[in-house]
Structure 1
């Protein structure tokens, strides 16, 4: 685990980020990102966080030791993106991420997917850890100083597992759909995850954490709330505030703009999961010799 000293920092995106996103050739409206603002000052005590997302092999050890059955296994299906839209794929779960006929024998070092909030919490408890808070996750991803991505404010190719790693630069939704349809037809709707830590150290955060941009979405412990009551976000998003949990990091499915350190997603903790969603664990305290970090590092 990486040790992250306690710090006071400003959670979320500064005002210029919204203007930058509007000026970029990305397909999403500005309202999509409105829940990242305004920035709020938070005080985060020292903590530890997994350097990488929990892998298939690690989750298998837990499942074998406890006979744990995930929410997707109990439901009998998992959420998979088909050629054109999300669908409930019968038999899809962490063991068969694309549904029947798929497996994880060659994915032991990939992040586990089809993990609900309940599943992630159960694993964390078994491991003697917990899920990170949203503020802990963002601090571990970018440090005290604001950074667009874990390594900085530029996007060199090959530092993260996003759709652009596989399809090349993407600036339009139609181009993404073309790539994904071709991928599905050739390989089936399998998650395009990569081994954890594959992009280390170039893609690591200032605190030495890997895969905090892309690979898989990651659950946090934090209930979804707006940073300010008057944040100009979509009405549908307002309806899930207080009920959903914050998800961070983006995934292998996303554009570079959706894997920024301050990008927020929200998921139903009542059993929902999909084939791009995983997690990493955290633990309180940092051991002797560590204090606060208010230097902006």
Structure 2
């Protein structure tokens, strides 16, 4: 959380205790919700990376990747599941912790001034729709640092997850996601595992459901319909997050591999990592680069996120494409960021 906070200063001032392993057939939705069923994803070889005019530079070049079989959570970790983790461990998320300025400033450009004490308070970054069209290159127009925002209070102190226990947990940093995964006896997926799973057994699809564009794919995913970031027609039924499993699963039986919330992967982000991987004839079970580099914020190490969110729109990020990459610093959490876990198949 704090790291996105630091990004703002840079811009403004310079369960699960049991596992039920099963394949993609014969899944009972209630069991998935209660017991965090994991789906067996068969191993395979594929061409990882982007294609088409929507693909970003960091999605190229496509390169051959092989992944072994693994188990993946059928859905994103829910508030109910994360609450069980917190109750059992007493864990405090990054967004709830006291901000340590001396630690924070190490990830800021040199010379960044210390904000006032009334701003340096625990919180997170929350989406705020604008009053009309804005320049999409300036994200600070629709993101607002909100004191008191965290996984229990997604929009700030006046909000609650009381009626959203089956929605994906949000405002979780990469560090928070790793802590949960370790408690549950799992881990975060590698970027390669995530993309392979998102394809659902299809041959080089653009989206988890195939190649039909989202605007013509009713009931496929939770994303922003209308004009981002000021007009959402809510044709998918939800303005913000949707309960996990609200939309159809992909071919492997995985829900919300597009839209709803961005999902943390284990990999460090490097904008040229695919160029490095492409030098190999086949990349076997890649785990990401050894170092992180985002040329837009070279001082700030980042981790990969995948899958898009309820805020994705073709005019802005098209994050629901299976090859789309996003990055954020590992102690950042926002109200469109969550995760799911995997487990190595023995």
Instruction: Quickly name the TM-score band, shorter chain normalised.
Output: 0.7 to 0.9
Runs of 4+ in 1 over 4 A off after TM superposition: 238-242
Counterpart position of 2:244: 196
Q: Secondary structure, in 3 states, of the residue corresponding to 1:120?
A: helix
Q: Show the counterpart of 1:252.
A: 310
Please tell me whether residue 13 in structure 1 is matched to residue 70 in structure 2: no
- Distance in 2 separating the partners of 1:48 and 1:240: 34
Return closer, same or farther for 1:205/1:242 CA change in 2, 3 Å cut-off.
farther
Displacement of 1:161 in angstroms is 0.3
Distance 1:51 1:240, change over 3 A: farther
Name the SS of the counterpart of 1:163 in structure 2: coil
Select the residue among 64, 73, 90 that pairs with 1:50.
73
Give the Cα separation in 1 of the matches to 2:64 and 2:50.
Answer: 12
Which whole-Å CA distance do the structure 1 matches of 2:325 and 2:221 have between them? 18
Structure 1 or 2: more helix by fraction:
1
- Residue 228 of structure 2 is aligned with which of 155, 164, 176? 176
In 2 relative to 1, CA 240–58 (structure 1 residues): closer, same or farther, beyond 3 Å? farther
- Per-residue CA deviations over 1:48-106 (Å, capped at 9, x if unaligned) read 10010000000000000000000001141111122442121000000000001100000
- 1:211 aligned onto 2:272: no
Aligned counterparts of 2:295 and 2:221: Cα–Cα separation in 1: 28
**Separation of aligned partners in 2, 1:127 and 1:216:** 20
Tell me the distance in 2 between the aligned counterparts of 1:239 and 1:89: 22
Describe the shift of the 1:45–1:67 C-alpha distance in structure 2 as closer, same or farther (beyond 3 A).
same
Does structure 2 retain, via aligned residues, the 8 Å contact 1:7–1:144?
no
Q: Is the 8 A contact 2:269 2:294 kept in 1?
A: no
Contact kept, 8 Å, 1:191 with 1:275, in 2: the verdict is no
Counterpart in 2 of 1:101? 158
What corresponds to 1:4 in structure 2? 41
CA contact (8 A) 2:294 2:301 kept: no
Q: Radius of gyration: which is bigger?
A: 2
Unaligned runs of 5+ in 2: 1-37, 100-121, 130-140, 279-292
Q: Do structure 1's residue 147 and structure 2's residue 147 form an aligned pair?
A: no
Q: Which residue of 1 aligns with 2:23?
A: none
Contact 2:47 2:64 in 1 (8 A): yes
Q: TM-score if structure 2 supplies the norm length?
A: 0.67
| 3-state secondary structure, aligned to 1:63 | helix
CA distance in 2, matches of 1:254, 1:44: 28
Shift of 1:205: 1.8
2:202 and 2:210 in contact (8 A); partners too: no
The correspondence of residues 1-297 of structure 1 with structure 2, limited to 5 A, is 1-14=38-51, 17-18=52-53, 21=54, 33-74=56-97, 75=99, 76-83=122-129, 84-142=141-199, 143=201, 145-155=203-213, 156-164=217-225, 170=226, 175-179=227-231, 192-200=240-248, 204-225=249-270, 226=272, 227-228=274-275, 237=295, 240=298, 243-256=301-314, 257-269=318-330, 271-285=331-345
Instruction: Give how far 1:243 is off.
Output: 2.6
Which structure is richer in relative contact order (CA contacts within 8 A, separation 6 or more)?
A: 1
